[in-house]
Amino acid sequence: MPAVATTCSQSSALPVAGAAEPGRAVSHSYWQRVGGMPLATAAAPLPHRATILIVGGGFAGLATALRIKELDASADVVLLEARTVGYGASGRNGGLMSPLAAPIWLTTALNNPAHARAINLLERKIAAAAEWARHIAPEADVSAIDLALESQGPIVDAGLAHISRTLDAAGLAHDWPPRTSHRGPRSLVLRAHTINPYRLAAGLAAEARRRGVTIAEQAPVRSIDDGGTDGARVILVDGREIQAARVILSTNAYTPSLALARPPKARVVRNYMLATAPLGPELLACLTHAGGTSGGFVVELNTAYVFYRVHQGRLVFGGIEKLRQTEGGDLDVPAAVMRGLRKHLARSLKGSPLPDIVEAWGGRYHMTSTDLPIIGPAGESSAIVHNVGYGGTGVALTLSLAPLAAAMALGRPVEDQALAEIRDTMAGTRMPVAGALRFAAGVVGTWFAERRPRR
């Protein structure tokens, strides 16, 4: 692995016109723009009845539709999307398929073999889902890359050392340089995948349509009446209704806008990103893990959760999380957030003059208290299946766990033993107070051990 650069030479960004202006209304993310997402599509005619009705055309809804068709090619599947497929977080994210998609288990796995095993099983399922996505949507640039978790200080370094031991216990390959051979902040490096988010959403939708899924865009749902074993009545904002035997709710952080008798328990988190003008070779070389020849993905572990990658020579950078949007629309970046993003960008570029920022956008995701998704019936004998709460690792989780939602939609058992085990471990995972304390104690112990003078 290359060493982490500590200084960069002067900026070598190529100038472009049209830098992102704070306060300007945003209609697209970078991915949606380069992927050609239409701002609107025509409202489609709808059936009055459906066997399986999926609400939401992001990765969760689209991957579930495809997995249903894989299990039963003749299944009658209708998907309703409020705007256009890939409009939400699935068309706006960083595009990382993280192999550590259930971070909660990292705090417990050293003392909980079931969690260690689940980390391993999930990582394999994510790698398999990446191959699946590559096959279905070659245009989505599914690429094997290095993911670097960069420590920005001694405590985080100690935390990463602890995570490295946890990954050893879970049997996950990774690189963690020994302290003796490395000065300065270290990076824990794992194998991962990146995708082009909007292109993947569009590719999944195209394949779902090809396999006979009816996808209706510009079809926002207002409410869902749960009739239990009699099915559910789905009422659209324009008053149209569809009676469905089963409804798969895949509306992510937009779920609170729907009238539901039993809403899922998750909160809405907003995240913001920007894309720069193409960078020159010096600045690219300075971004050791993301630029140069590695084409990887970097997560900086500091007080913010900064992440970035290089796409077609541009830096795509994000990481400020907020629970409330204080101004603007769904994609807009409030001025204070933009200032924060610039500040973090300057730090990541180690003092080099900032490259032009040509685009900035926001998005929202749905997060549960454990960071694990909610995939299951809304209540006993409910006709509604929740398929939400995929959080900040939702690219990996939606694509790898879609077969669980698909089996529920069809009322079938999950035949894949590894997936069934992951599901059971997820269901048994609670907020790990003891595990978190042990994790913190382990980090502090490592920190003290590393400060001890070496002989």
Ligand X SMILES: Cc1cc2nc3c(=O)[nH]c(=O)nc-3n(C[C@H](O)[C@H](O)[C@H](O)COP(=O)(O)OP(=O)(O)OC[C@H]3O[C@@H](n4cnc5c(N)ncnc54)[C@H](O)[C@@H]3O)c2cc1C
What is the smallest separation between the CB atom of 325 and ligand X, expressed in angstroms?
Answer: 12
Whole-angstrom distance, CA of residue 317 vs CA of residue 29: 12
Q: Is 311 in the site for ligand X (CB under 6 A)?
A: no
If the CB atoms of residues 95 and 442 are measured against ligand X, the closer one turns out to be: 95
Three-state DSSP at 292 gives coil
Q: Is 384 in the site for ligand X (CB under 6 A)?
A: no
Site stretch for ligand X (CB under 6 A), options 110-118, 149-157, 166-174, 363-371: 363-371
Whole-angstrom distance, CA of residue 159 vs CA of residue 37: 40
Buried residues in 271-285 as b, exposed as e (16+ CB within 10 A) = bbbbbbbbbeeebbb
Helical (H) or strand (E) element with 422 = helix 417-427
Q: Is 296 in the site for ligand X (CB under 6 A)?
A: no
Q: Is 271 in the site for ligand X (CB under 6 A)?
A: yes
Output the six-digit token pair for 182: 């490395």
Backbone angles phi, psi at 437, to 5 degrees: -65, -45
The neighbouring-strand residues paired with 276 are 357
If the CB atoms of residues 60 and 215 are measured against ligand X, the closer one turns out to be: 60
Three-state DSSP at 205 gives helix
Q: Is 98 in the site for ligand X (CB under 6 A)?
A: yes
Q: Is 35 in the site for ligand X (CB under 6 A)?
A: no
Whether the CB-CB separation of 337 and 362 falls below 8 Å is answered with: yes
Whole-angstrom CA distances from 414 to 54, 78, 419, 422, 437 are 19, 22, 7, 11, 34
Q: Is 330 in the site for ligand X (CB under 6 A)?
A: no
Chain centroid, CA 300 distance in Å: 16
Q: Is 318 in the site for ligand X (CB under 6 A)?
A: yes
Contact with ligand X (CB under 6 A) among 164, 250, 370, 425: 250
Q: Is 394 in the site for ligand X (CB under 6 A)?
A: yes
Q: Is 266 in the site for ligand X (CB under 6 A)?
A: no
Burial status of residue 24 (CB atoms within 10 A of its CB: 0-12, 13-18, 19 or more): exposed
Q: Is 317 in the site for ligand X (CB under 6 A)?
A: no
Q: Is 28 in the site for ligand X (CB under 6 A)?
A: no
Contact with ligand X (CB under 6 A) among 13, 31, 58, 264: 58
If the CB atoms of residues 92 and 169 are measured against ligand X, the closer one turns out to be: 92
Whole-angstrom distance, CA of residue 282 vs CA of residue 294: 15
Contact with ligand X (CB under 6 A) among 221, 298, 299, 316: 221
Q: Is 249 in the site for ligand X (CB under 6 A)?
A: no
If the CB atoms of residues 238 and 424 are measured against ligand X, the closer one turns out to be: 238
In the region spanning residues 119 to 178, those forming contacts with ligand X, defined by CB under 6 A, are: none
Q: Is 99 in the site for ligand X (CB under 6 A)?
A: no
If the CB atoms of residues 58 and 296 are measured against ligand X, the closer one turns out to be: 58
Whole-angstrom CA distances from 104 to 110, 234, 393 are 12, 35, 12
Contact with ligand X (CB under 6 A) among 214, 251, 400, 425: 251
If the CB atoms of residues 196 and 446 are measured against ligand X, the closer one turns out to be: 196
Angle between helices 394-410 and 113-136 (to 10 degrees): 90
Site stretch for ligand X (CB under 6 A), options 56-64, 67-75, 327-335, 348-356: 56-64
Q: Is 57 in the site for ligand X (CB under 6 A)?
A: yes
Whole-angstrom CA distances from 102 to 80, 99, 116, 250, 426 are 29, 9, 11, 19, 9
Q: Which residues bind ligand X (CB under 6 A)?
A: 55-61, 80-83, 87-90, 92-96, 98, 220-221, 250-252, 254, 257-258, 271, 273, 318, 363-365, 390-396, 398
